[in-house]
Structure 1
Amino acid sequence: MTATATRRRRFSVGKGFAWAYLIGVLVVTIFPFYWILRTALSDNYALSADPASPLPVGFTWGPFKRVLGLATTQESIAEGGSGASIEIGHFLVNSIVYATVSTVLVVFFSTLAAYAFSRLHWRGRNLMFSLFLTALMVPGILTLLPNFVLVKELGLLNTFAGMILPFGLFSAFNIFFLRQFMLGLSTEIEEAALIDGAGRLRVLFGITLPMTSGPIFTLSILGFIGMWNDYFWPLLVTSDESVQPLTLALAVFKQSSPQAQPDWAGLMAATLVAAVPMLALFMAFGRRIVNSIGFSGIK
């Protein structure tokens, strides 16, 4: 039997459908990003005349110049822009502060809680962990109003603290994820350290944390991406541009047009600028994230 015949026999209808499905999912996933890029490289006036074109219409770098503050008002209006500007550097810094501090806090406190649930023996531990798990069943939208009232009563509206604290101190998923991983770790080294006189905190930070660096890194990346893309919660608690993240700035940029039609090209350019750091982050560490999740398992 020749090699060609062997390859033909290996092909099946099922494999054909599987490949077709994967290609379809890939196209559906990538197409929105391509359309955003196509719109961001188009002239607004030309775009209105030919909105269905698969290629950039009236190719120009003008939308990116408008977003980065490199275009004058006259140049912006000449390409169909609104003349509105966005201080993207300022809002990028706000997003970095919001996402970084929130991620560091929630991962740190989740690690402490996961260690307590997996290594310490205390009365009511299993019951308390079950209560923690019920938080996974509560839709996040139901907690927004109580958190908003709490932040308002504490006088933390229009502050980074008001945005960060409600979601930076507790995450049921993070605790569950880290606890499951810690349960699979050997306790021999930790027990030996305790016998030698090491305290619990020293064991946690000197032994357990280094062995749990993979899942912690994974949760940090996923948490950072989630906070970076957060929109609704900052919208509720902030109206001051000094603390607003980039997601809110994009909405303000869309609404600031005095024209009947928003500056779609500029808006798509700003969206790409906001998305590129997260895409680069996930592409750089995506394999490590998937491997960590698969290694953690459910125990």
Structure 2
Amino acid sequence: MTPRRRTLRIGRTAAWTYLVAVLFVTIFPFYWILRTALSDNYALSANPASILPVGFTWGPFQRVLGLATTEQSIAEGGSGASISLGHYLVNSIVYASVSTGLIVFFSTLAAYAFARLHWRGRDFMFSLFLTALMVPGILTLLPNFVLVKELGLLNTYAGLILPGALFSAFNIFFLRQFMLGLSTEIEEAALLDGAGKLRVLFGITLPMTSGPIVTLSILGFIGMWNDYFWPLLATSDDSVQPLTLALAVFKQSSPQAQPDWAGLMAATLVAALPMLVLFMAFGKRIVNSIGFSGIK
């Protein structure tokens, strides 16, 4: 074997070893959640280091889905507390769907204005928009909370959705970069035929930008689905609280010395499953769109 081939084989082996290690570190937490969710709480306390489920049972999932009685829950080490999973799932779907739709819609309008329209101060305004990318999101939580409180929108869907629905610096930048790479010939022909700017946007530009828009919609939906801090500030009523807050309440509602870890992990897995399926279904599209837009 030549030295060159030996070097390539060593490098390839090292690369595969690194990839396997990263894959293991990434997947293992999900396996641990599943292992805990399939365990009996009493048996889990006695053997917490077991790699396999301890006292295998479907009880935690039955408790989360409301299929187990209080007696059955306590018999398996549960707290007897319940969680209205369906109600909180609906709240999360409404919050994530409406927020994502509004954010993507207004970001598309702004991106089109920065990429296609010519107006005084456009480049300066875009630079100003980009500075928002350097501001940590957590710094805006308190001002948004004060604004929502003054408007009387606490514990409402409007209070949850509106503060982040009108502006997303990343979305605007992402879509603008993609639109700059699109050919202007079709749009110019439509304008010469008498089409207005809005007709060009919705009839020509949006269909050509459908890939990045779908990508941003998926990423935005996942982000809103997993959001915790803003709903924690803006809501205290379970009528509008999303599932992320319900999991925290479920953890704190245990009257025992320790929480119902098996039930909590089962609820976490049920809550994460839609996002895992969504990302598995559209993961390739997301990666391709981000890579394609990043070279503009």
Residue in 2 that maps onto 1:260:
257
Instruction: State the SS of the aligned residue for 1:82.
Output: coil
Once residues 138 and 264 of structure 2 are traced to their aligned partners in structure 1, the CA distance between those partners, rounded to angstroms, is 27
Deviation sequence 1:70-109 (CA, Å, 0-9, x none) = 0000000000000000000000000000000000000000
Q: CA deviation at 1:296?
A: 1.3
Residue in 1 that maps onto 2:37:
40
Residue 238 (structure 1) aligned to one of 210, 235, 238: 235
Within-5 A mapping of 1:280-291? 280-291=277-288
Residue 87 (structure 1) aligned to one of 76, 84, 87: 84
Structure 2: which 5+ residue stretches go unaligned?
Answer: none
Once residues 143 and 9 of structure 1 are traced to their aligned partners in structure 2, the CA distance between those partners, rounded to angstroms, is 54
Once residues 90 and 286 of structure 1 are traced to their aligned partners in structure 2, the CA distance between those partners, rounded to angstroms, is 28
Residue in 2 that maps onto 1:193:
190
Deviation sequence 1:98-134 (CA, Å, 0-9, x none) = 0000000000000000000000000000000000000
Structure 1: which 5+ residue stretches go unaligned?
Answer: none
Output the amino acid matched with 2:264.
L
Give aligned pairs, total: 296
Residue 62 (structure 1) aligned to one of 52, 59, 63: 59
Q: CA deviation at 1:298?
A: 3.8
Q: CA deviation at 1:297?
A: 2.3
Q: CA deviation at 1:17?
A: 1.4
TM-score normalized with structure 1 length: 0.97
Within-5 A mapping of 1:98-137? 98-137=95-134
Once residues 202 and 121 of structure 1 are traced to their aligned partners in structure 2, the CA distance between those partners, rounded to angstroms, is 17
Residue in 1 that maps onto 2:9:
12
Output the amino acid matched with 1:28.
V
Q: CA deviation at 1:168?
A: 1.0
Q: CA deviation at 1:12?
A: 2.3
Once residues 129 and 9 of structure 1 are traced to their aligned partners in structure 2, the CA distance between those partners, rounded to angstroms, is 51
Deviation sequence 1:231-263 (CA, Å, 0-9, x none) = 000000100000000000000000000001100
Within-5 A mapping of 1:87-236? 87-236=84-233
Output the amino acid matched with 1:83.
G
Residue in 1 that maps onto 2:21:
24
Q: CA deviation at 1:170?
A: 0.5
